[in-house]
Structure 1
Amino acid sequence: MTPTLADVLAVLDRLYDPSWAESWDAVGLVTGDPAQPVRRILFAVDPMRAVVDEAIAGEYDLLVTHHPLYLKGVNSVAATTPKGRVVHDLILSGTALHVCHTNADNANPGVSDALAAALGLTRTRPLKAMPADPMDKIVVHVPTAEADAMIDALAAAGAGNIGEYDRAAWTTLGEGTFRPGEGANPTLGEPGRIERVAEAKVEMVLPRYRRRQVVEAMRAAHSYEEPAFDVLELAELPSTRGGGRIGVLAEPLPLKEFAERVATALPRTTHGVRVSGDPERMIETVAVVGGAGDSEFGRVRASGADAYVTADLRHHPATEARAYDEGPALVDVAHWASEWPWLADAERLLTSELAARGSSVDTHISTLCTDAWDLRL
């Protein structure tokens, strides 16, 4: 089955949720009709003129890029500017453009995961972890005979999901006591008389955005006129999503050999690979950030990494980082090269998800080097 653009975007937004993007970023659909069919998809780092020409000439229905075409708002997309001409050509050719930028940086797996994998890093974790989605815990007391039915009702409303497990709950047994008022209509007992009931306390976690649905389900499933329950907001914890990654090599390598591995693993550019540090220093723990990463020196140093692989390192931040004796060796690569490995991940994940939904598309990864530099003397 040929998917529509809306079908493809639904998968991309699940893999790279727009809510994970930084506040300053511009991600999502730039051109394209959600109802149009998508038979061919081209993946690229930059929506440059040459890449757009490749997409149009190859009759691709969708171009997925990492970098935005417009990062800041504009008042015109007239064809009097290079980017305006790109917009016109995309629309006239029926080629959709979709951007996954910092939402792909912060995803798991995301841009830095692909870079880490290309360099042979294992046991990776985020360098700058995003907080996990806000979670609650519902605690409700029910007659013991109703415990399983209550768990089923709460699970159906979205509670009790922990990793790959669902319907996860904790129950303890005890005794509940209450005295109905004169205007009450108790399920058990009589108004004005103290009642004691064998009860189970059921505890289940839930995403905070499901709170209303879960509480409503609890009330509907409970036999009591006034259920006894609590909703607790759980502490914020780090997630497995976030910018950058820290990992380890299978075996330590001298910095010179590790830098050679980096040069071999990434596509060649005029920029090449620049190294700062003792060539014989042994490297085992490595931090990586796809794209510009000199704003993360503090986190990298705190992580204890032996080396830091990223792009666009500037003179002053780099020299300041080297001023710390315990600081990491620096491996500076081209911005485009550091993010290019992600394209294969995005292609694989998207086609796999579409196949699971009964759809298939023809995909291709652009090998056009869109790094800004053409000559090094």
Structure 2
Amino acid sequence: MTTLADLIAVLDAAYPPALAESWDSVGLVCGDPAEELTRVLFAVDATAAVVDEAIEWRARALVVHHPLLLRGVDTVAANTPKGALLHRLIRSGCALFTAHTNADSAAPGVSDALAAALGLTVTGPLDAKPEPAVDNWVVQVPRTHTDAVLAALFAAGAGGSGNHRDRALRVPATDFRPMAEVSAAPGAVGELQSLEQDRVEVLAPPAARSAVLAALLAAYPDADPAYHISERASLPSSLGIGRIGTLPEPESLRAFTDRVAGALPPTAWGVRAAGDPDRTIYTVAVCGGAGDSYLDAATRLGVDAYVTADLRHHPVDEHLRRGGPALIDAAHWATEFPWCAQAQSLVRAALPDLETRVSTLRTDPWTVGASG
């Protein structure tokens, strides 16, 4: 039996909640993780029409990108718009799960799906997240106590990095000069002594620093262990907002704008470009959703064009005056819609017994477009 908890595990592995921005709200909104799961619907937004579709299709989970509950929510009463949707989902036995900025920064994530839709070969993130901070602990331990000290450090959260656990480096060491009586090294104080020791190195998250130190002090044979902590320098990773990519062949901005319009679902907003229509486009930055805060990043990276949504008049005008890349502005919903198929594909691969479906309802709020 596949449960909601199984779905959550797959989605959390693909889009780790730790990648979400501090202001965001991601994860399970309603539903019982122990409930059996049979059908899952994917959408960008949990609008009334999407909830209708989920209930009519008898979905047991609705997975969306945009949070239904985010800021200033102090009631989910059934007589409020958002509360009414939640009550309908709960009464119908349909869970609601959100993957928002964690899906934006994951690899692959929202912008990878957008890049793939445009036929780009991704080379890296637009705004890379740094690798998680890691402490490197170096401890001099009498060899008679090395195993006990390592066991204590591992139990406190040290020895792990990525997919590795209980990992340590041991290097034999001997001479030292005790400046007080220590039980591990009986002999004259102040005299150089030879004692079989190990130089032990373990990695640990900075959040575990207090626990690791307490474990070391408790397991070490003396009250004054010799240790040193250094923190790994912050390095860029493959994770982060947006993506940089290349086209199969260079093409004009006019042709590239047509490419974007043909790749994304149609909306009243449409697709518009800013820049010389004959400009050659080869390197492209993309950011699913509102991406005007990354205009400077796209300029610094020297791309030929930047595809995103919700661009405003004055920032675009100033950007072009400074010689930035050409800009392609599409509807917010349209730039994030390709993610739904990506999330569906991940779930299908991990939980093949589930029936899945991507909602094709257009949840873009703009409904009428006109040109004069």
**Residue among 344, 350, 368 paired with 2:361:** 368
Structure 1 partner of 2:309? 311
Structure 1 partner of 2:44? 45
**Residue among 329, 350, 365 paired with 2:326:** 329
Distance across 2 between alignment mates of 1:206 and 1:258: 47
Contact 2:122 2:243 in 1 (8 A): no
Structure 1 partner of 2:112? 113
Structure 2 partner of 1:246? 244
Distance across 1 between alignment mates of 2:173 and 2:207: 30
Structure 2 partner of 1:92? 91
Q: What does the per-residue CA deviation read over 1:5-31, in whole Å, with 9 as the maximum and x for residues that have no partner?
A: 233223333333334322333323222
TM alignment of 1:169-184, pairs within 5 A: 174-179=173-178, 181-182=180-181, 184=182
Structure 2 partner of 1:209? 207
Structure 2 partner of 1:55? 54
2:261 corresponds to 1:263: yes
Q: Which amino acid aligns with 1:11?
A: V
Distance across 2 between alignment mates of 1:250 and 1:189: 72
Contact 1:180 1:189 in 2 (8 A): no
Change (3 A) 1:169 1:279: farther
Change (3 A) 1:85 1:151: closer
The SS at the match of 1:235 is coil
Q: Which amino acid aligns with 1:21?
A: A
Distance across 2 between alignment mates of 1:344 and 1:149: 50
Q: Which amino acid aligns with 1:246?
A: I
**Structure 2 residues without counterparts, runs of 5 or longer:** none
Contact 1:311 1:333 in 2 (8 A): yes
Change (3 A) 1:224 1:66: same
Q: Which amino acid aligns with 1:368?
A: L
TM-score where L is the length of structure 1? 0.85
Q: Which amino acid aligns with 1:32?
A: G
Give 1:98 deviation, angstroms. Answer: 1.4
Q: What does the per-residue CA deviation read over 1:187-228, in whole Å, with 9 as the maximum and x for residues that have no partner?
A: 444364732235443333332234456556666876777542
Give 1:46 deviation, angstroms. Answer: 0.7
TM alignment of 1:190-201, pairs within 5 A: 190=187, 192=189, 194=191, 195-197=193-195, 199-201=197-199
Contact 1:62 1:95 in 2 (8 A): yes
Contact 2:115 2:122 in 1 (8 A): no
Structure 1 partner of 2:337? 340
Moved more, 146-155 or 188-197: 146-155
Contact 1:187 1:225 in 2 (8 A): no
Distance across 2 between alignment mates of 1:279 and 1:85: 47
Change (3 A) 1:215 1:260: same
Moved more, 254-263 or 137-146: 137-146
Give 1:169 deviation, angstroms. Answer: 5.4
Distance across 2 between alignment mates of 1:29 and 1:206: 29
Give 1:89 deviation, angstroms. Answer: 1.2
Give 1:364 deviation, angstroms. Answer: 1.2
Distance across 2 between alignment mates of 1:351 and 1:151: 41
TM alignment of 1:115-134, pairs within 5 A: 115-134=114-133
Distance across 2 between alignment mates of 1:198 and 1:302: 54
Distance across 1 between alignment mates of 2:313 and 2:6: 45
Distance across 2 between alignment mates of 1:121 and 1:156: 45
Give 1:164 deviation, angstroms. Answer: 5.9
Structure 2 partner of 1:350? 347
TM alignment of 1:149-188, pairs within 5 A: 159=158, 161=160, 174-179=173-178, 181-182=180-181, 184=182, 186-188=183-185
The SS at the match of 1:371 is coil
Distance across 1 between alignment mates of 2:151 and 2:259: 52
- What's the % identity of the aligned pairs? 51
Distance across 2 between alignment mates of 1:50 and 1:232: 53
Distance across 1 between alignment mates of 2:162 and 2:49: 43
Give 1:243 deviation, angstroms. Answer: 1.4
Distance across 1 between alignment mates of 2:268 and 2:317: 23
Give 1:298 deviation, angstroms. Answer: 1.5
Give 1:286 deviation, angstroms. Answer: 1.1
Q: What does the per-residue CA deviation read over 1:95-125, in whole Å, with 9 as the maximum and x for residues that have no partner?
A: 1111111221122222112112222333432
